[in-house]
Homo-oligomer: A and B are copies of this chain.
Amino acid sequence: MYLGIDVGGTSFKAGLVDENYRIVDKEQIEAARGAENYGEYLAGAMAELCRRLLDRNKAWDKVSCVGAGMPGFVDPDEGVIMFTPNLPLEKVPIRELFKAHSPLPLYIGNDANCAALGEYHAGCGGGAHSMLMFTLGTGVGSGFIVDGRIYTGWNGAAVEAGHMLLVMDGRQCGCGRRGCLEAYASATALISDAREAMSGAPESLLWQTAGGRLEGVNGKTIIDALVMGDRTARGVWDNYLKYLAQGIINGLNAFQPELVCIGGGISNAPDEELLIPLQRAVEGKTLAKGTHKQATLKKALLGNEAGIIGAALLGR
């Protein structure tokens, strides 16, 4: 069996994963906001999650290590969390800290990379040569799996497809650059675009699906209005797809994977609104035109569980 932890900004989720890569038991701890020494606190909380799952399932002799996905840039070789945008963790030697709390060796990875690894092995991967995953959520996460493993680059920070610049001197991105894919293709960007469009369209169904309030807008309310045939939602969505498609083409020209996996909240849109138009926009636009080896776009299958399962497989 395998043990995986998904470290999020608001909670830490752990799962015990069986040999078929299915989660057989789960545990969760809400993240304490004001912990003094956050690295030390996180190490303790992670060990506590492991203890609960292994005690309850009498599985101490069935796992040999634990893996954890971190919401930021990690050095997987050194076991150090280098930087996280949403948690006070900078250059935290989490593998070392974890040793004081648990006998299990700890492997760490970036959370989007873990989600990609989980989807590859237990979700939509299906034994593909390679898979590039885009997670369309608060940000745009990404991960690349080749030979069944995460590609992390020399320093652990590779495959940040959300932070490829698509628009020279474009929108400010959280990473410090301007014009990154994330600033156009995250759920956050989609919601912001929808709100802006709504202001000039009082008749739009976007108001209705959002309960009449700009604050009520989320990915789902936008997709709902789109499916209901709303013109304003259509304009916002088509523009969103335009940027996303160019980001995917850039990713294909860089990595040429067999499979592109689309995950995150936005991937819940119906295929005819997301996968099919994206596949159409991408086909024949990469440098691999003319070959039958064209990447296939697929929807992620595991939802939030992908991160736990992938983390569990880090030490395999």
Contacts and interface: CB of A to CB of B under 8 A. Distances in A.
Interface stretch (A117-125, A225-233, A250-258): A250-258
A129 B291 CA distance: 31
Given A177-B249, A290-B83, A257 B165 contact: no
Interface string A263-291: 00000000000000000000001111111
A200 interface: no
Interface string A153-187: 11111111101111110100001110000000000
A165 B250 CA distance: 7
Contact of A257 (B153, B161, B293): B153
A253 B290 contact: no
Contact of A91 (B158, B177, B290): B290
A139 to B, nearest CB: 11
B254 A160 contact: yes
B73 A288 contact: yes
B154 A257 contact: yes
Interface residues of A, number: 51
Contacts of A177: 246, 249, 285
Contact of A158 (B152, B154, B167, B254): B254
A28 to B, nearest CB: 28
A293 B82 CA distance: 11
A295 interface: yes
A254 B255 contact: yes
A193 interface: no
A130 interface: yes
A257 B295 CA distance: 24
A297 to B, nearest CB: 14
Given A83-B290, A288-B157, A152 B256 contact: yes
A181 to B, nearest CB: 10
Contacts of A295: 154
Contacts of A242: 168
Interface of A: 73, 75, 82-83, 90-91, 128-130, 152-161, 163-168, 170, 175-177, 242-243, 246, 249-251, 253-258, 285-291, 293-295
12 contacts: A73-B290, A75-B293, A83-B290, A154-B256, A155-B293, A157-B256, A157-B286, A157-B291, A159-B254, A165-B249, A168-B242, A251-B254
Given A129-B154, A177-B285, 6 more contacts: A83-B289, A158-B254, A165-B249, A167-B167, A176-B289, A250-B250
